[in-house]
Structure 1
Amino acid sequence: MNSVTSENRLFIGGEWTTPASDERINVISPVTEEVIASVPAGTREDIDRAVAAAHRALTSGPWPSMTLEDRIGILRRLRDLMVEQSDLLADTITQEMGCPISQSRSIQVVNPVRILEAYLEIATQYPFRSVRSSSYGHALILREPVGVVAGIVPWNVPLSLTMQKLVPALLTGCTLVLKPSPETPLDAYLVARMLEKAGCPPGVVNIVPAGREVSEYLVSHPGVNKVTFTGSSAAGRRIAEICGRDLRRVTLELGGKSAAIVLEDADLDQTVAALRLGSFRNNGQICTLKTRILVPVGLQEEVVDRIGSLIDSMQIGDPRDTATDIGPLVSERQRNIVEGYIASALADGARLTKGGGRPDIDRGWFVEPTVFADVGPDTTIAQQEIFGPVIAVIPYGSEEEAISIANNTRYGLNGSVFTTDIDRGISVAKRMETGTVELNGNSAGFLAPMGGVKHSGLGREFGPEGLDPFVELKSVGISGEVAARLQ
């Protein structure tokens, strides 16, 4: 794999421009712990230029007069280029953040394409213009672009989350300033070059890697009309505070501590098989992973044994090897955080049944897949998002207790129910305080809205609900005759 290269310019206003400072962001391999590339560190001046370019593109040039079909055409060409360059994208993401290459190819690149395709399907049915009539009056309802969007993307699934911001923004006619994570800026450069080839007009998408202070400046920029962010709940609260001061629109997809409720009639073969990706994919660094496994007291030991056997079947090692199931964490800092949670669980009296240390690998930020049993539902490991390959098995005595434990966190992003009684499973799912529930490991797909309740976020992505945050509603009063003609 030799896909990563250093970059010296920023993509602003449709041009590759010289950054305002000589500061650099180093991209460090989580496998070798060495610098593998670098990109410019964006400054406030660079953000000012990017926002100005996005505003110009929004109000002048070809973009404002393009039809929905024109915008769809650009995104279809982007989709084709992503498919054509899928190996390059997958290799880049694996080298940036350590996702096993087999998962980068089957998830990190495939899902962004599916997200794009799903939004294209929805856009043709979305009511950008509609008519409503009553005995009191007639209205033409317009859904117009909200304006300049700031999209802030984390490092764990960078291409998927770029598409979650970029595609609905472009479909609705908005323009975008994209701020990729300092850990994973390289795939965003590949997207910029694909957008050029796809015919995206200058300034419609601008890409500026930057650190925390400059990111906060982007969020607070008076030229930004909307912020869409995926990341930690702590960062989300800060962004919400900043946007609240200026009444700026904001969508937040934040952390999770998702519960998988295993009912006593569950098919345990199916359940444990679903946990392979449902709890451990991307080295445990996905906000929707099921990290709390709630099991009947009488089934705890069998489930723990089965999960242990599952882990034994998973290979830990170099993510560039197609045989690898578990790679390193993204950074030394992230490994330290995860190891701190493991120590906390031991101090709280949880029973370590698997892992808990570092594998016998000379270099890289690895942590063994780790399982704790007899975990108390109020302990730190059961309450805090760990973002590593660590799960807590929590025993329960009744269905009511299971639902109570599942809802006993500040998070509410995702969850699962495993049962052979589908009606019962749906009944339990309805009582879980979370934005999405997967029944027997079945994904809701990219046509369904995704987002969280409580500290897991504000708003929704995917489906027509994912386009709603990017439009402003306008009502135009019209005559009955005009209404009849427009309907």
Structure 2
Amino acid sequence: MKHAYDSLYLGGEWRKSASGRTIPVVSPADEQQFATVPLAEPGDVDAAVAAAASALRSPEWAGLTPQQRAGLLERFADELEKNAADRAALTSMQNGMPITIATASEGAAPVGLLRYYAAVARATPIEERRPRIDGMGETVVRREPVGVVAAIVPWNFPQVLTMFKVAPALAAGCTVVLKPAPETTVDALELAAAAERAGLPPGVLNVVTGGGDIGEYLVAHPGVNKVAFTGSTAAGRRIGEVCGKLVRPVTLELGGKSAAIVLDDADLAATVQGLAASSLLNNGQTCYLSTRILAPRSRHDEVVDAVAGLASSLTVGDPLEPDTHIGPLVSRRQRDRVESYIALGKESGATLAAGGGRPDRDRGWFVRPTVFGGVGNDSRIAREEIFGPVLAVIPYDGLDEAVAIANDSDYGLGGTIWTSDVDKGLDVARRVETGSVGVNFYALDVGAPFGGIKSSGLGRELGPEGLAAYFTLKSIFLPR
């Protein structure tokens, strides 16, 4: 077996889990087990939270200046950079992400996020003085770390989504208990090893592993001060309910069913090239993807043919091969789910224009990229998050109807506008009810906030706003 782990990272030490049991890790490409990871129990979570709480008060961490903490983050980044290629490959082996995507998002991006938040921490004052409005003195506004953070991350982009939380939390002076998805735990333990090599004080970063029961226990733990979660809307609602009852801060980055609005003046060749990334990235297992493609009725068939041509041209295969565009889905259960939606699309009367089945492969949880045309926005394949390579082309009559269809969704996370007139695209983008939207492309900006509205989440990550989420503010009133 290539990777066998039997210890959790707790309080700066590698400790056997209380259960002594392990979780098998199976490659979605060949269905073979290639690793084992420890299975935590509630007692392990207790130990992790206690270690994080102790580190929060320790002079080795609490006594550091923002500049000193930034230096530690940069050392952490340096360690991650040394094995960036190995971590990218681990992600691909665990979740089927094509290696070209993993190299950027799982190898390089976590390094960049740590360095970005090190720079933001250096530039963010801990205190500022404001003259009182009544002229009776001044107020010191002080930023303090919110405390122990429970960071719960999914399997689709495990390393970079971990760092969406860990980097700003550490920059703010918080401590973290990280709970990765069981499908992608190996890379989380490798990340902890890099933190150890970088010299992070004991207890600043802790890793516990397991399923939903361990995540639920961590979320409700009395020693946790904030929860940061990325995952399904259903799980996010449960976490939000727990945090609401506890009056505990929470950031939720949840599901999406975003729209790509193709305007009547769009260059279709350029649009289709852009949709490859903004609608099918990571085998369709990306929360913000524009999986509803809104086309002018006069160009509907043309758009369907072009998108179907794109889907049919993509190479489906081994995620570790550099020419692979579409790898396997993360698990048999996920493939079954995606295939159930493909069946619904066929039954709905929509036109199957591409895909609709499995490629000719003996093993692995693969689904061919699938495109449906003539879809109504009331169809389940247009309303529910599928989380796989399935696209629905929806016709519209006039720009107002296009915007109305885009906004007629329970979700509001991403979206794209495709046009030959960027200013016109910007005007349309302003009308779309969503947390983020791209004009003629879509790519997250580390320096700008990311998150959703409606059922797509609560709060923001990235940018200076991502750091602010890990501070609590104290006002100290001073007389004249």
TM-score category, normalised to shorter length? over 0.9
Matched residue type, 2:360: D
- In the TM superposition, what are the counterparts of 1:188-337 in structure 2 within 5 Å? 188-337=188-337
Residues 119 and 462, structure 1, Cα contact 8 Å, conserved in 2: no
Give the corresponding residue for 2:54: 56
Q: For residue 269 of structure 2, what is the amino acid of its counterpart? A: D
Query: What's the secondary structure of 1:265's corresponding residue?
Result: coil
351-360 vs 4-13, which moves further: 4-13
For residues 117-172 of structure 1, what are the alpha-carbon distances to aligned partners after superposition, in whole Å with 9 as ceiling and x for unaligned? 33233223324321110314311100100000000010000000110111011000
Structure 1: distance between partners of 2:252 and 2:463:
16
Shift of 1:444: 4.7
The counterpart of 2:98, out of the listed 97, 100, 104, is 100
Aligned to 1:186: 186
SS in structure 2 at match of 1:109: helix
2:9 and 2:208 in contact (8 A); partners too: yes
Deviation of the 1:417 alpha carbon? 0.7
**Structure 1 residue 17: deviation in Å?**
0.9
Q: 1:45 aligns with which of 43, 49, 53?
A: 43
Q: Secondary structure at the match of 2:29?
A: coil
1:28 matched residue in structure 2: 26
Q: Aligned residue for 1:346?
A: 346
- Structure 2 match to 1:151: 151
> How far is the alpha carbon of 1:479 from its aligned partner?
4.0
Of 149-158 and 435-444, the range deviating more from structure 2: 435-444
Change (3 A) 1:444 1:326: closer
Asked if structure 1 preserves the Cα contact closer than 8 Å seen for 2:256 and 2:414, the reply is yes
Structure 2: distance between partners of 1:114 and 1:300 = 40
Whichever residue aligns with residue 159 of structure 2, its letter is L
SS at match of 1:63: coil
Identity %: 51
> Do the aligned partners of 2:312 and 2:355 also contact (CA within 8 Å) in 1?
no
Deviations 1:266-306 (A, max 9, x none): 12122111111111121110001110110101111111222
Q: Which of the residues 80, 83, 104 maps onto 1:82?
A: 80
Structure 2 residue corresponding to 1:67, chosen from 55, 65, 68: 65
Which amino acid letter does the alignment assign opposite residue 78 of structure 1?
F
Shift of residue 72 of structure 1? 0.8
Q: Distance in 1 between matches of 2:29 and 2:301?
A: 34
> What is the match of residue 16 of structure 1?
14
In structure 1, what is the Cα distance between the partners aligned to 2:447 and 2:29?
A: 36
Distance in 2, Cα, partners of 1:59 & 1:230: 27
1:175 alignment partner in structure 2: 175
Q: Which runs of 5+ in 1 are unaligned?
A: 481-487
* CA distance in 2: counterparts of 1:335 and 1:41, whole angstroms: 25
- Equivalent residue, structure 2, for 1:484: none
SS in 1 for 2:201: coil
| DSSP-derived class of the 2:62 partner | helix
Question: Deviation per CA, 1:179-235, whole angstroms, max 9, x where unpaired?
Answer: 010000001111111101111000000000111111101000000000000000000
CA contact (8 A) 1:111 1:160 kept: yes
Cα displacement string for residues 64-109 of structure 1 (whole angstroms, at most 9, x for unaligned residues): 1011111111111121222221111111101111111122113332
Deviation >3 Å, runs of 4+: none
Residues 444-469 of structure 1: CA deviation (Å, up to 9, x unaligned) = 51100000000000000011111122
Say which SS state the counterpart of residue 229 (structure 2) adopts: strand
Give the count of matched residue pairs.
478
Cα deviation, residue 315, structure 1: 0.7
Unmatched segments (≥5 aa) in structure 2:
none
8 A Cα contact 2:311 2:355, kept in partner: no
One-letter amino acid of the counterpart of residue 222, structure 1: P
- Decide which moves more: 193-202 or 21-30: 21-30
CA distance in 1, matches of 2:249, 2:443: 29
The yes-or-no answer on 1:468 pairing with 2:465 is no
| Offset of residue 442 of structure 1 | 4.4
1:112 deviation in Å? Answer: 2.2
Cα separation, 1, equivalents of 2:430 and 2:117: 26
Residue equivalent to 1:397:
397
Residue identity opposite 2:56 in structure 1: L
Local SS of the residue matching 2:469:
helix
Q: Any idea what the Cα deviations from partners look like across 1:12-51, whole Å, max 9, x if unmatched?
A: 0000012111222111110111211111111100000000
Which of the residues 124, 129, 132 maps onto 2:130? 132
